[in-house]
Amino acid sequence: MKTIIVPTDFSETANNALKAAVNLQKKHGCKLVLLHMLEIAENLLPELSFNNDVKPRSGTASNSLPDAFFYMKLAQKRFAEIRELPFLKGVEFEEAIQNYLNFKGIIDSAHKHEADLIVMGSQGSSGLSEMFLGSNTEKVVRYSDIPVLVVKGDAEKIKFENIVFASDFSEEAITPFIKANTLIKKLGAKLNLLYVNTPGDYFLSSAQMRKKIDTFLDTTKCKNDVANIAFVSDFTVEKGVLNYATDNKMDAISVATHGRTGISHFFSGSISEDIANHANKPVITFKI
């Protein structure tokens, strides 16, 4: 793993995500980028360098600059304050201030920095729309082609040694699974696979479940990377995943996202988002 990017508004929720990122940075020696987003109209935005004074952008009227100057200077001040936090003692990270008016800016910035992982904080179980960047975070989780780690609470001590990938193991799940396998290898974690059997049209026998996953692993050629395969039965996929992760002391849950529609029956509606909402463990999302 080479680069982790953490969007921040300098809140406690954002700092929880930063703690998780620092934990990973210390273990893997990767570059850490702390990103703060401004929402200022481009024509009002001054040029900024951390080594130089803030200067008006060429052609910008002087009477339109006060707010832009204020927010730029405030961001610099907050970066200086955050460097004094105890968990950042001795930690090197790059400061970045970008001006974006929607969630795509986070993804674009992650690409610019060639990030392997975006780490974001969540306030609790009330839904992705309540994350510290509001609905933008929900969209990043849903649309980012770079894996997104969603953190709740203080994740400073999480070791990320055992990660479960929950799926229906359909053809559509191949791409996110390969992405998950690649990242989990970089994290040095064990990959655990989980199929949740639920009542109704998608109920499978033990033999059918085994055959489904065997076929899936033969297709992906990743069988040797898997530490454990589990089948559980529950009333819903979400409950099955969350109960398994808790009972088996998984450090994180990995799931796939598919924009608006979800992955076949497993992620129909918003199952993957519900898992991210209600899990008390970190959740890593992968887009098809």
Residues 230-263 pLDDT 10s: 999 999 999 999 999 999 999 999 998 876 543 4
Residue ranges, comma separated, of all CATH 3.40.50.620 domains in the chain are 3-152, 162-287
Whole-angstrom distance, CA of residue 191 vs CA of residue 279: 18
* Range 3-152: architecture per CATH: 3-Layer(aba) Sandwich (3.40)
182 with 146: CB under 8 angstroms? no
pLDDT band at 70 (very low <50, low <70, confident <90, very high): confident
pLDDT digits (tens, 9 = 90+) for 194-211: 999 999 877 899 999 999
- Give strand pairing partners of 96: 35
**Whether the Cβ atoms of residue 68 and residue 2 lie closer than 8 Å to each other:** no
User: Residue 155's closest CA among 194, 120, 107?
Assistant: 120
**252: its two tokens:** 């994180």
Per residue in 86-119, pLDDT tens? 999 999 999 998 877 677 889 999 999 999 999 9
What percentage of residues in the chain have a pLDDT greater than 70? 79
Q: How far is 13 from 20, CA to CA, in rounded Å?
A: 11
In words, the CATH class of domain 162-287 is alpha beta
Tokens, residue 65: 């600059």
Name residue 76's amino acid. Q
What is the DSSP-derived secondary structure letter of residue 102?
S
